């Protein structure tokens, strides 16, 4: 079974702190994604990556950056956390497919609260 | 811009009933459609993936159909159980491998 592991299930941070959210997948997937999920807004794509050291902006990249130094690991960074970044963050991965994205697998999510 | 709609937003049924969840999308140029389940406070679990060339997929008590030309998919759940209670989301993959999610149907199966 595919396993996508997010390092922290719950985090509480203060405004202005730097926050790292880590995601590791164990199935050699090329594609990795970071979403945030908010009530009434659904899932919104922050960043994605199709390969090591490669990143693409999603729909809401402002205030975030990412790092993909190894194929299995995709990190989301909040350089200076703000209260409007309080959310559930979901990491996902999939195999590359010439016919579009393959089946998407998600981690358990990281609930971030910024005070 | 692709828009994905799921109706109803919430549904409550007694245990044992068969039920259908609906997903509609505005742009039929999709590569695939995926159904997920999400339990409260958890991540999404993949249920079924239908490629654009397929009409349906089955897994256990779940059957998903796809009518690309009309922009519709249905998820059929047979003999519902309380453990099926969750939010069900559909997502379509369009151009540039971009996924668009619906906002989900919250299902409650009562004893």
Rounded Cα distance between A107 and B79, Å, is: 28
Query: Could you tell me if A43 lies within 8 Å of chain B, comparing CB atoms?
Result: yes
Interchain CB contact of B49 with A (< 8 Å): yes
Q: What is the pLDDT of residue B38?
A: 96
Average pLDDT of span A9-33: 95
Rounded Cα gap, residues B29 and A5, in angstroms: 32
Q: Once rounded to an integer, what is the mean pLDDT over residues B90-99?
A: 82
Which residue, B18, B20, B15, is CA-closest to B7?
Answer: B20
Among B69, B70, B64, B75, CA closest to B104: B75
The mean-pLDDT minimum among A89-98, B6-15, B31-40 falls in: A89-98
Q: Does B58 touch chain A (CB under 8 A)?
A: no
User: Given this model, what pLDDT does residue B98 score?
Assistant: 76
Q: How close B13 gets to chain A, by Cα (Å)?
A: 23
- The mean pLDDT of B34-47, rounded to a whole number, is 94
pLDDT range class, residue A75, cuts 50, 70, 90: very high
Chain A: closest CA distance from residue B88 (Å): 12
CA distances from B83 to B11, B31, B57, B79 (A): 14, 31, 21, 11
pLDDT at A95: 85
A103 touches chain B (CB under 8 A): yes
Q: What is the predicted pLDDT for the residue at A101?
A: 61
Element (H, E) at A66: strand A65-70
**Pair B105, B11: CB distance under 8 Å:** yes
Is B91 near chain A, with CB under 8 Å?
Answer: yes
How large is the average pLDDT for residues B18-38? 95
Contact B104 A42 (CB under 8 A): yes
Average of per-residue pLDDT across A68-83? 96
Average pLDDT, chain A: 92
Residue A42 to residue B42, Cβ atoms within 8 A: no
Q: Do the Cβ atoms of B32 and A100 come within 8 Å?
A: yes
pLDDT value of position B1: 85
């Amino acid at each position: 079974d595919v396993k996508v592991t997010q390092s922290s299930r719950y985090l509480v941070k203060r405004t202005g702190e730097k926050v790292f959210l880590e995601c590791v997948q164990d199935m050699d997937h090329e594609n990795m994604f970071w979403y945030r999920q908010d009530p009434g807004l659904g899932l919104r794509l922050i960043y994605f990556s199709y390969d090591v050291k490669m990143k693409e902006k999603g729909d809401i990249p402002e205030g975030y950056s990412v790092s993909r130094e190894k194929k299995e690991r995709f990190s989301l960074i909040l350089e200076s956390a703000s209260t409007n970044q309080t959310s559930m963050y979901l990491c996902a991965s999939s195999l590359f497919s010439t016919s579009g994205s393959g089946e998407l697998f998600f981690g358990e999510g990281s609930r971030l609260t910024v005070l | 811009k692709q828009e994905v709609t799921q109706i109803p937003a919430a549904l409550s049924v007694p245990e044992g009933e068969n039920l259908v969840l609906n997903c509609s999308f505005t742009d039929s140029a999709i590569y695939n459609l995926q159904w997920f389940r999400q339990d409260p406070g958890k991540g999404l679990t993949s249920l079924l993936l239908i490629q654009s060339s397929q009409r349906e997929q089955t897994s256990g008590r779940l059957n998903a159909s796809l009518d690309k030309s009309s922009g519709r998919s249905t998820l059929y759940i047979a003999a519902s159980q309380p453990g099926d209670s969750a939010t069900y989301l559909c997502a379509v993959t369009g151009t540039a491998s971009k996924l668009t999610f619906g906002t989900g149907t919250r299902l409650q199966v009562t004893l």
